[in-house]
Amino acid sequence: MGSNVVTEPVHTRVHRVRTRSWAAWAAFALMVVVAVALSVLAYRDLLPAELDAVHGSDKLLHATLAGGLAFFLDGALGHRDVMIASRRILPLAAILVLVPVGVEELLQRLSPVRSSSIWDYLADCVGVTISVSLSRGVLRPTKLRPHEEA
C-alpha cells in the first residue's frame, strides 16, 4: 500500500527558494545601480545624443528600466501583494517602483536639462505591468502536486 509519489525534501525546496530570492535581490541591486547611473548622467546632460535620435527610444528605456526593477524586486519580495480588506490590490513591487519613479519624474520639472512627461511615466507603468506579470510566471516557485512525480 505504498505510494508512488516522490516528494522533494523540504530543505531542498527551501534552499532553492532562498537561492532564487538571493539571485533576484542581486539582479535588483544591479538594476538600481544602472538606473541611478543613467539618472545621474541624464541630470548632468551626459547621455549620448543618439538616444534621442531614435523615435520612442526614451519611452522604451523608461519601460525597460522600470520593468527590470519591478521584475527582480517582485521575485526578491516573494511576489507579495498589497492587501486591503483581505483583497489583493496591487503587487508590492509595482508600488515600490512606481512611487519613486513618479516622484523622480515630477522632480525633473525642476531641472533645466531634464523634461518631465506623463508619457514617460505611462511607459514606466507599462514596463512594470508587463514585467511583474512575467515575474509571476517565471520566478514563482513551482509546487509539486501529489499526482506528479519529481
Residue 10 has pLDDT above 50, yes or no: no
Sorted by where each begins, the domain ranges of the chain are 10-138
pLDDT band at 51; cut points 50, 70, 90: confident
For the chain, the distance separating the N- and C-terminal CA atoms, rounded to the nearest angstrom, is 20
Residue 71 has pLDDT above 90, yes or no: yes
pLDDT band at 8; cut points 50, 70, 90: very low
C-alpha angle 88-79-58 in degrees, rounded to nearest 5 = 100
For the segment 31-38, the average pLDDT, to the nearest whole number, is 96
Cβ 64 vs Cβ 129: under 8 Å: no
* Cell numbers standing for residue 63: 519601460
The alpha carbon of residue 99 and the mean position of all alpha carbons in its chain are separated, in whole angstroms, by 13
